[in-house]
């Protein structure tokens, strides 16, 4: 570790803030072997960049367009060798409180070079934050789900999800184009995206916006049940007896939505 320079990636949406960090890293270079491997303007760009270059440390802002720092830190964990993330923030009372409670490393902007140096020296001993720890920090729902495919992190925008279906070990994410396999708990996903996804079956969450309608089907043994008809794909999903009430509830919502649209 002593020989290899510490590889650092800078993520901030404000160009002056990135330049300032670059200057500070240059100042630290005398005391510590390090290399700045790149810069990104938001979490999404940073993830993309991390497929091309590897880093030991990411210095990431929190509030950024497209993908903020807290969400970025969660997706970064899916990389084969995730870097350590240290957050930088100017003033976010809630985030700072949460960091202190959870003993998460962060730097307050404007950053002092001594503080940065101390943080850099700590990096080799740090481990990436766990997903559960990050969950406690981020009060808002993610904008993307991430899956690993051939050691790349693929992002699936939440608004593109048609349904999530739990199957044995994995959850299948269905979008209009294709399917992805995700390793998370359906219950937790329901908690996080309850405003967007609705449970139609013990093993299935469907996007409210993707529901085209419901159809009554009669099985071979004469027992009838509802099927969800979906926008964009021909597949249908069964509604469990337990969740039958949503047929009426969503049907009514759609009707109301249609009326207002007509007006």
Partner 1 sequence: MQPIIRQKTLGLELPDLRNLGTILRIVLAVNAMTAVAAVVREPQAELWTAQWLDMTAVVEPHLIVELAILYAISPWLARQTALLAAMVIAAITVIVGVGLHALIGPQYRDVPLAAMRHILLALCVYGALLFYFSLRAKALSPAIAESRLQALQARIRPHFLFNSINAVLSLVRSDPKRAETALLDMADLFRVLMRDNRELVPLADEIELCRQYLDLEKLRLTDRLQVEWHLNNMPGDALVPPLVLQPLLENAVYHGIEPLSTPGVVSINIFCKGGDVHAILRNPYRAEGGSHHAGNKMALGNIRERLKLHFDAEARLESRVRDAAYEVHIRMPYHRAPSKAAREAGLGPDATERPVRARVETNVGTGADRDLDGPALREARSGVSRG
Can you give the binding site for partner 1, defined by CB under 8 A? 13-17, 19-20, 23, 41-42, 63-66, 90-92, 108-111, 140
> Is 65 or 232 the residue whose CB approaches partner 1 more closely?
65
Determine the number of helices (DSSP H) and then strands (DSSP E) in the chain: 8, 15
> Is 15 or 31 the residue whose CB approaches partner 1 more closely?
15
CB 66 → partner 1: shortest distance, Å? 5
CA atoms within 13 A on the CB side of 212: 12
> Is 23 or 215 the residue whose CB approaches partner 1 more closely?
23
CB 203 → partner 1: shortest distance, Å? 28
SS3 content of the chain, % helix, strand, coil (to 5): 35, 30, 35
List, in sequence order, every residue forming a beta bridge with 219; answer none if it has no partner.
Answer: none
> Is 17 or 155 the residue whose CB approaches partner 1 more closely?
17
CB 94 → partner 1: shortest distance, Å? 10
Which of 196, 201, 207, 208 shows the shortest CA–CA distance to 244?
201
CB 134 → partner 1: shortest distance, Å? 18
Residue 80, classified by CB atoms within 10 Å of its CB into exposed (0-12), middle (13-18) or buried (19+), is: exposed
Cis peptide bond N-terminal to 110, omega within 30? yes
> Is 110 or 213 the residue whose CB approaches partner 1 more closely?
110
What distance in Å separates the CA atoms of residue 106 and residue 89, rounded to the nearest whole number?
8
CB 72 → partner 1: shortest distance, Å? 14
Distance from the Cα of residue 197 to its chain's centroid: 16
């Amino acid at each position: 570790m002593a020989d290899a320079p510490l590889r650092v990636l800078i993520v901030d949406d404000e160009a002056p803030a990135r330049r300032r960090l670059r200057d500070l890293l240059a100042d630290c270079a005398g005391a510590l072997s390090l290399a700045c491997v790149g810069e990104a303007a938001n979490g999404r760009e940073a993830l993309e960049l991390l497929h091309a270059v590897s880093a030991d440390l990411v210095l990431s802002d929190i509030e950024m367009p497209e993908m903020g720092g807290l969400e970025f830190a969660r997706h970064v964990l899916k990389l084969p060798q995730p870097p350590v993330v240290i957050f930088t923030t100017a003033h976010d009372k809630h985030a700072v409180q949460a960091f202190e409670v959870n003993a998460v490393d962060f730097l307050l902007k404007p950053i002092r070079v001594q503080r940065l140096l101390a943080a850099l020296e700590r990096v080799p001993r740090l481990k990436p934050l766990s997903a559960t720890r990050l969950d406690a920090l981020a009060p808002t729902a993610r904008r993307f789900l991430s899956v690993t495919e051939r050691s790349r992190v693929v992002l699936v925008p939440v608004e593109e999800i048609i349904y999530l279906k739990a199957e044995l070990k994995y959850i299948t994410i269905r979008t209009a184009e294709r399917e992805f396999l995700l390793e998370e708990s359906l219950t937790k996903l329901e908690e996080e995206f309850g405003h967007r996804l609705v449970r139609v079956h013990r093993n299935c969450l469907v996007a409210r916006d993707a529901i085209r309608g419901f159809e009554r089907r009669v099985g071979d043994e004469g027992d009838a049940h509802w099927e969800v008809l979906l926008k964009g794909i021909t597949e249908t999903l069964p509604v469990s007896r337990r969740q039958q009430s949503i047929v009426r509830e969503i049907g009514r919502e759609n009707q109301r939505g249609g009326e207002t649209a007509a007006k």
